[in-house]
Amino acid sequence: MRRFKNILAVYSDTIGADDVFCQAVALARENAARLTFIDVLPERYATEAAVGERRKRLERLMHAVKAEGVSEVRTLVFAGTPFLHIIRQVLRAGYDLVIASADGGASLRNVYFGSTATHLMRKCPCPVWIVKPGQSAQYSSILACIDPKPDRPAGRKLDTMILDLSTSLATSSSAKLHIVHAWEVEGKDRDTLASEVPDETRAALKKKHEDLHRQRVQEMLKDYPLATIDHQLHLPRSTPQKAIVSLVDEHDVDLIVMGTVSRTGIPGLIIGNAAETILTVVQCGVLTIKPEGFVTPVVLEEALEGV
């Protein structure tokens, strides 16, 4: 199934640029998608000669892209604030995926915050894929992070998008798919566990809630062809932060597919605490998906104050 039809790849003068190039070409080929490479030079470096050289470099790359079987490819070069030009191109051309690297090709731990990557994950209206430096375009282990709850109809749609993408990617890459839902005992039972109760009662309450969460997850998964995908379900009683970071290390995860959290009624995205914690510690690729109804604070004419 074609998950992406119009891909925008950020090709900058960094160590991670070649990794973005390989991942973008592989996805465009697999999805028969249109592919655009964009390079944005900060104003202080954007001399006429520098812009011309960047444009020539991208044009040379296009021969290699077409040789890889991608027929629809174009290039864009701008001068200014990178994330603003990238997001405005998404608004103009309706891209359904942005691929970028961690700035400078350094470890993700050190570059996420204050970087172009962070701005894109928080403000770009379409999914954003941050590629791990030095990583193969063919992933072998993917982690899908979901949180199905009956009182979260918007979250249900976000979980569906996460599963749609992660199962598709696992199939195309022949990767093992790990699905995680971290849970905790809720309601009055949480108060009961905090009190002195027999071990049998404690164990029964935990099992009751684990079974409930398992049922919710399995209800979602029944619509997916998991019989044809090597997969494993994880239902740890834990916080999302601890569960995801632990699974990344334990299963050598290459790519995390996860949703982001927005403030209702406020343009722009505020990444939730779980996601922010994860992004500061993981050393793998991350594909973040926006909730339905997300509105970017970036506009075509000019950036809103405070962007």
SS (H, E, C) the chain: CCCCCEEEEECCCCCCHHHHHHHHHHHHHHHCCEEEEEEEECHHHCCHHHHHHHHHHHHHHHHHHHHCCCCCEEEEEEECCHHHHHHHHHHHHCCCEEEEECHHHCCHHHHCCCCHHHHHHHHCCCCEEEECCCCCCCCCEEEEECCCCCCCHHHHHHHHHHHHHHHHHHHHHCCEEEEECCECCCCHHHHHHCCCCCHHHHHHHHHHHHHHHHHHHHHHHCCCCHHHCCEEEECCECCHHHHHHHHHHHCCCCEEEEECCCCCCCCCCCCCHHHHHHHCCCCCEEEEECCCCCCCCECCCCECCCC
Work out the percent of the chain whose per-residue pLDDT is above 70. Answer: 86
Q: Which is higher by pLDDT, 103 or 288?
A: 288
Higher pLDDT, 285 or 105: 285
Indicate if the pLDDT at residue 246 is higher than 80: yes
Residues of the chain with CATH 3.40.50.620: 1-134, 138-301
Residue 46 confidence (pLDDT) above 80:
yes
What is the predicted pLDDT for the residue at 212? 92
pLDDT in tens, 80-102: 999 999 999 999 999 999 999 87
Band (pLDDT 50/70/90 cuts) for residue 181 is very high
What rounded mean pLDDT belongs to the chain?
85
Q: What pLDDT sits at residue 274?
A: 58
Instruction: Tell me the pLDDT band of 34, cut-offs 50, 70 and 90.
Output: very high
pTM of the model: 0.88
Confidence (pLDDT) at 95: 97
Averaging pLDDT over each range in 32-36, 103-107, 283-287, which range is the top one? Answer: 32-36
Q: Which CATH number fits domain 138-301: 1.10.287.3240, 3.30.70.20, 3.40.50.620, 1.20.120.1200?
A: 3.40.50.620
Q: What is the CATH number of domain 1-134?
A: 3.40.50.620
Q: What would the mean pLDDT of 71-84 be, rounded to a whole number?
A: 94
Q: In Å, how far are 11, 49, 74, 134, 168 from 24, measured between CA atoms?
A: 10, 27, 13, 14, 16
115-121, Cβ contacts within 8 angstroms, sequence gap of 24 or more: 116/10, 116/82, 116/83, 116/86, 118/279, 119/83, 120/83, 120/86, 120/87, 121/260, 121/269, 121/271, 121/279, 121/286, 121/288
pLDDT at 272 over 70: no
The winner for highest mean pLDDT among 98-112, 236-250, 290-304 is 236-250
Asked which of 78-82, 105-109, 122-126, 280-284 is least confident by mean pLDDT, the reply is 105-109
For position 9, what pLDDT does the model report? 97
